[in-house]
Structure 1
Amino acid sequence: MTRIGAIARAVVVLLMAALLAACVDRPAPRQPPPPPPTTVAPAEPTELVIGIDDLGAGFNPHLLAHQSVVTTALATLVLPSVFRPDETGTLHLDPTIATSATVVATEPFTVSYELNVKASWSTNAPIAAEDFVYLWEQMRSQSGTVDAAGYKLITDVRSRAGGKAVDVVFSRPYPQWQQLFSALLPAHILKDAPGSWTGGLAGGLPASGGPFRIASVDRARGELLLARNDLYWATPTALDQIVLRRVDPTTMADGLRAGGVDVGLPAASPAVREALAALGPGVRIQDAPRPVVTGLGMRSDAGPVSDPRVRQGIAWTLDREALRATIAPDALPADAFGLAPSEPGYAPTAPDGAPVRPDPGAAERAFAAAGYARDGDGRWSRDGQPLRLVVGAAAERPQDVRLAEAVAAQLDAAGIGAVVVAPPAVDLFGGQAVPATPPPTTAAPTPTATPNLSPSPTPSTVPTMTPTPAPAPGGGVRVDLMVLPRVVGGDLGSRLASDYGCPRATTGVADPPATPTGFCFPALQPILSRLLTGPADPETVAAVERVLWAQLPALPLFQPVTLVVSTPTADAATGIGPGPLGTGPVTGAQRWVQPGG
């Protein structure tokens, strides 16, 4: 090999080595580490806090025992209704629930409802015919219901279109049919659960068919949380949540001042008004009469008070003005059995000679006519048996308990033995006998050496558990007098028929429940039936009022008032006012925004 050839081969080797080196992958340049992920804190939910006195006994708006400011609010914001009142109280079809509701036949009288196909419960079950059936069946068969007379005229509820159309058939024409099927309840949850009508709704509402849903109920803390119903098919709420929080009425002003409470809904009283006045002129305070009239129900179907002369004697004994001044000084005096003081057209209806004021002489004549006489101690008795009455009030309603104690004190001072019991509201308004439960706080009786006919003794002298009440058949005790709320608003004829009518057996309900007092006056029934199915003309209503003042199934006392308290910031965010009587101050809360937000 020549020297030139050797050099050439060496050059080739070097070139090949260079090419091979060029083909070897070079390591990629090191990239800087990615920045750590940014943690974004979740936004605080927008909310509004409403201060209330108490959560109440339960949340079924169709039960007398569960009536409260909170129950009215939940019926308005959580439960679906076919018709809803506007600011004037006029009913309008709610298109989120029903696209139409019309009378389609007169023989028999039939109303057809076409339901919104999107309307559903928060469980995803449709709002459907079974919810109409469930409410109808409960209202005609359960005791202690509110305004049930219209439902008792219904003979059939028929489902069409897979439950999204409903035909409701009546035994007679019912002009006020638009009042029915408000605050529907979730039948798919409640219908097969024993005791669900009362017990199932004592701790909340298991499903929502409205813009809000109940997220939690904490009775220990006195707080109920309403959250936006994310499955609501119509316009969503502006607020994420509304908190209903128990606040002592006397410290409500502190919460409003500090911002922990946005709106207050305390019961009206001079002490609360005085505390709120310290907030200055910027805070708006509005009166909102509640859709309830408080009275003293008298047991008309058994015991000594079944005699109307005894009921008259009791009414002549009691000083209603003193009871109102002591227990509810800011309430509206009620002197009628139908309309409430805050309703248009209200006027006192007591005829001349009605027991509207205490009159010891008239009381003695009434008791004497019933066979009673005073014994040597000034106590009323008949055939050697003293007149002893049990006065009941719902344990969950503190104002009612105080009223019962004040009534018992007046009776005792007039020579009538009285014992106060405070059973659960459901028992008191739904049964003939109740547990002999003493009120939460009792005072020892003060002996009276001589008869004291003062019409308004101090409540501190109440003989709360002396004498022992006589047992009722089947156990428990019979309540002779009860502090009885009467729901108002809506159709007057339907209310009068519901509150004072006799129970009537129908197909499917052979033994219908009586009213809480057991009152039934057969001579009045034809007039009430005419009012139920026809116009509530003034002459007919006046005739009913005269009969009721003579028979006294109850003694009207007062209409409670709630204060609507709001700061300027809360006013701007809510525009809150008293609202229609039936739906109250939270009407329209789905459009409220967060104060200051």
Structure 2
Amino acid sequence: MIARRPARLLLLAVLLAVLAGCSADPIPAPAPAPPPPTTPITTPTQVIAGVDDIGPGFNPHLRAHQSPVTTAIATLALPSVFRPDANGALQLDPTVATSAKVTSENPFTVSYELNVAASWSSGAPIAAEDFVYLWQQMRTQPGTIGAAGYRAISDVRSRAGGKAVDVVFDEPYPHWQELFSGLLPAHILKDAPGGWTGPLINGVPASGGPFRVMSVDRVRGEILLARSDPYWATPAVVDEMILRRIDPAVLPTALANHDVDLALPDARPEVTRALAALATPPTVQRAPRPAVQQLALRTGGGVLADPRVRQGVAATLNREAIRAAVAPQAVPVDAFGAAPSDTGYVASAPAGAPARPDPAAAAAAFGGAGYVRGGNGTWQLAGRPLSVVVGAAAERPEDVRVAQTVAAQLRAGGVAATVAAPPAADLFSQSTVVPTAPTTTPTPAPGGAGPAPTTAPSTPAPSTPTSTSAAPTTAGAPTTSAAPTTPVAVDVLVAPREATGAVGPRLDSDYGCPAAGVPADSPASSCFPALQPLLDQLRAGPADPATVADAERILWTQLPALPLYQSQGLVVSTPATDAATKVRPGPLSTGPFTGAQRWAEPDRPDR
């Protein structure tokens, strides 16, 4: 047993040697995983446009929402069956409809074959329901522009699963190509609370164009539009379009520092002077706005229901002084249908009152209505002063300035006047409004042109009304104060009217009688039996000059409104922007952003 011990020790030594040899060559550790690929951070390509303000909303069919920004958004994000070419002639947009033609004369029918690929950014097809929705809203909603053509439609029928549409008219309608522009997403709006206005106050809920509205920042005054990836046609070149509110006083600096690539300000003299002082002068192109500023006079009730009182009010007002105080760059308008931007525009205004101020004519008109001049210089009837409410939308600063200037002129002429500035959505759709006072105070304009306010609100007036007492006046003319919580009817409404399209439908849209069963366009609506047959002729046929002249004469007699001026805008761009975009004023109805999907990003060497 003792002899076996050396053998065991030898075996143990051999095993230890084997184990030592194995540990000298260990199993290698796994190699580390390769680093993940890096994605380069890119800045989106942009075109940045400066604007005076972003406006109260973006429905292109509402009078309250008319602005250069609304026109831009409609051009970039909303589908239209026809669009104007460089010369302003309407051409079929094949991205929306592959065919649109008259297919029957009795009844007059227009048939549309829609592009099967056309769809909203939500995924829903652009289809017949969008035609039906726009037709129904334009016929029934107050405060629309260009409604006459839609009132002439008796039915809208769907075919081919909604990708074909037959539009049936009550009578032949030669201006049918002007209809169904700026289509809206019916599948979203038709069931939305306040669908015609609410969802369009802070954006557009779905896009049918090369861009879509991503955000609206009213505090910063900026709107972001991004390339719409679901767009079925040629995609936009740049990633983003930005509309940025720029104070005209800092616009030259913003252009010099490349904070904006182009700008669309009003053509105010101080703006053009400041731009001319830049070391590298920008390109400045003038562009008329597609609307005429006017005063709508309430013919359906109140003191202005008497045409003699309307004549007296018109003869009291100095339209040229209003323009000089508020928009000296604007072009005077002396017609109800055509605008100075129209080819062949002819003024229809009479030589004297009511187109021109005439105290004697005003006194005769007020006296004919039974008013007498009181000891303090005011016009009175049975001891009660002649008093009117002048209304302007709180979010439309220029309108507020017009209203304040008008009220001051009326007070100087012996008519008590109060300015009310409620939100646009209320003012253009309701027969009465809470008399919210404007937040600005008029100051004398140089040269005796009348009062011009220093500033105007750029955001909606607060819902809680404040005092509506007007500023003290001279010559003993008193002011009026509406009860702060009692709704009032607006007698004189500062409101734009359309300056695009055929003159006949324009006249009928603005001054024609509403269709049976359709509510009146509050608060500015009119209906004159002697005028309507002429408007019917103009709507259903070419604008015969003699018929237009007859209609204009009646309108200057009845005065449902008083035209003031057509504003002028500017398209301001840098050399780099010109090279990348070739921006132009564009057709009146679609503006400078026509064709913007083909723009490239301008070179910004300092950024």
Q: Note closer, same or farther for the CA distance 1:471–1:256 as it changes in structure 2 (3 Å cut).
A: closer
Tell me the equivalent position of 1:503.
514
Q: Note closer, same or farther for the CA distance 1:533–1:456 as it changes in structure 2 (3 Å cut).
A: same
Contact 1:264 1:565 in 2 (8 A): yes
Task: Give 1:64 shift.
Answer: 0.4
Task: Provide the identity percentage.
Answer: 61
> C-alpha deviations, 1:507-549, integer Å up to 9, x for none?
xxx2333364221111100110010011101111111111111
Task: Give 1:568 shift.
Answer: 0.4
Tell me the equivalent position of 1:405.
404
Tell me the equivalent position of 2:482.
469
| Counterpart-to-counterpart distance in 1, 2:81 and 2:269 | 39
> C-alpha deviations, 1:80-103, integer Å up to 9, x for none?
000000111100000000000111
Secondary structure in structure 2 of the residue aligned to 1:523: coil
Q: Note closer, same or farther for the CA distance 1:96–1:315 as it changes in structure 2 (3 Å cut).
A: same
Match of 2:527 among 496, 509, 520: 520
Secondary structure in structure 1 of the residue aligned to 2:125: coil
Task: Give 1:466 shift.
Answer: 4.2
Tell me the equivalent position of 2:166.
167
Return the letter of the residue paired with 2:586. G
Contact 1:392 1:404 in 2 (8 A): yes
User: Are 1:282 and 2:278 counterparts?
Assistant: no
| Counterpart-to-counterpart distance in 2, 1:24 and 1:401 | 93
Return the letter of the residue paired with 1:458. P
| Counterpart-to-counterpart distance in 2, 1:281 and 1:539 | 51
Return the letter of the residue paired with 1:500. Y
| Counterpart-to-counterpart distance in 1, 2:329 and 2:48 | 25
User: Are 1:458 and 2:451 counterparts?
Assistant: yes
Task: Give 1:481 shift.
Answer: 0.6
Task: Give 1:415 shift.
Answer: 1.1
Secondary structure in structure 2 of the residue aligned to 1:150: helix
Contact 2:436 2:484 in 1 (8 A): no
> C-alpha deviations, 1:404-454, integer Å up to 9, x for none?
111111111111111100011122121211111000224699xxxxxxxx9
Q: Note closer, same or farther for the CA distance 1:387–1:456 as it changes in structure 2 (3 Å cut).
A: farther
> C-alpha deviations, 1:555-578, integer Å up to 9, x for none?
111111111100000011111111
Task: Give 1:282 shift.
Answer: 3.4
Q: Note closer, same or farther for the CA distance 1:376–1:50 as it changes in structure 2 (3 Å cut).
A: same
Tell me the equivalent position of 1:102.
101
Length-normalised TM-score, structure 2: 0.89
Tell me the equivalent position of 2:56.
57
Match of 1:586 among 570, 573, 593: 593
Q: Note closer, same or farther for the CA distance 1:356–1:455 as it changes in structure 2 (3 Å cut).
A: farther
| Counterpart-to-counterpart distance in 2, 1:98 and 1:337 | 34
Contact 1:285 1:563 in 2 (8 A): yes
Which segments of 5 or more consecutive residues in structure 1 lack a partner in the other structure? Answer: 1-22, 446-453
Contact 2:145 2:498 in 1 (8 A): yes
Contact 1:140 1:512 in 2 (8 A): no
Matches within 5 A, 1:386-465: 386-442=385-441, 457-459=450-452, 462-463=471-472
Supply the RMSD in Å over aligned alpha carbons: 2.6
Matches within 5 A, 1:294-305: 294-305=293-304
Return the letter of the residue paired with 1:88. N
Return the letter of the residue paired with 1:439. P
Secondary structure in structure 1 of the residue aligned to 2:530: helix
Tell me the equivalent position of 2:270.
271
Task: Give 1:585 shift.
Answer: 0.8
Contact 1:317 1:455 in 2 (8 A): no
Return the letter of the residue paired with 2:547. T
Match of 1:559 among 566, 571, 593: 566
| Counterpart-to-counterpart distance in 2, 1:70 and 1:469 | 34
For these two proteins, the number of residue pairs brought into alignment is 566
Contact 1:471 1:478 in 2 (8 A): no
User: Are 1:366 and 2:353 counterparts?
Assistant: no
Contact 1:409 1:459 in 2 (8 A): no
Return the letter of the residue paired with 2:530. A
Task: Give 1:384 shift.
Answer: 1.0
Tell me the equivalent position of 2:333.
334
Tell me the equivalent position of 1:74.
73
User: Are 1:486 and 2:497 counterparts?
Assistant: yes
Task: Give 1:357 shift.
Answer: 1.9
Contact 1:268 1:330 in 2 (8 A): yes
Tell me the equivalent position of 2:555.
548
Length-normalised TM-score, structure 1: 0.90
| Counterpart-to-counterpart distance in 1, 2:443 and 2:307 | 31
Tell me the equivalent position of 2:315.
316
Q: Note closer, same or farther for the CA distance 1:206–1:458 as it changes in structure 2 (3 Å cut).
A: closer
Return the letter of the residue paired with 1:469. A
Pick which of 276-285 and 256-265 moved more.
276-285
| Counterpart-to-counterpart distance in 2, 1:443 and 1:262 | 34
> C-alpha deviations, 1:95-118, integer Å up to 9, x for none?
000000111111111111100000
> C-alpha deviations, 1:229-277, integer Å up to 9, x for none?
0000000000000100111111111100001110011112111112211
> C-alpha deviations, 1:206-236, integer Å up to 9, x for none?
0000000001111111110000000000000
| Counterpart-to-counterpart distance in 2, 1:106 and 1:462 | 60
Tell me the equivalent position of 1:529.
536
Which segments of 5 or more consecutive residues in structure 2 lack a partner in the other structure? Answer: 1-21, 454-469
Contact 2:319 2:356 in 1 (8 A): yes
Task: Give 1:383 shift.
Answer: 1.2
| Counterpart-to-counterpart distance in 1, 2:482 and 2:344 | 42
Task: Give 1:353 shift.
Answer: 3.8
Contact 2:443 2:451 in 1 (8 A): no
> C-alpha deviations, 1:445-479, integer Å up to 9, x for none?
9xxxxxxxx9954357845994123799xx61011
Tell me the equivalent position of 2:90.
91
> C-alpha deviations, 1:299-338, integer Å up to 9, x for none?
1111111111111111111111111111000111111111
Return the letter of the residue paired with 2:594. T
> C-alpha deviations, 1:374-400, integer Å up to 9, x for none?
011111101111101111111001111
Contact 2:266 2:568 in 1 (8 A): yes
Secondary structure in structure 2 of the residue aligned to 1:271: helix
| Counterpart-to-counterpart distance in 1, 2:528 and 2:136 | 25
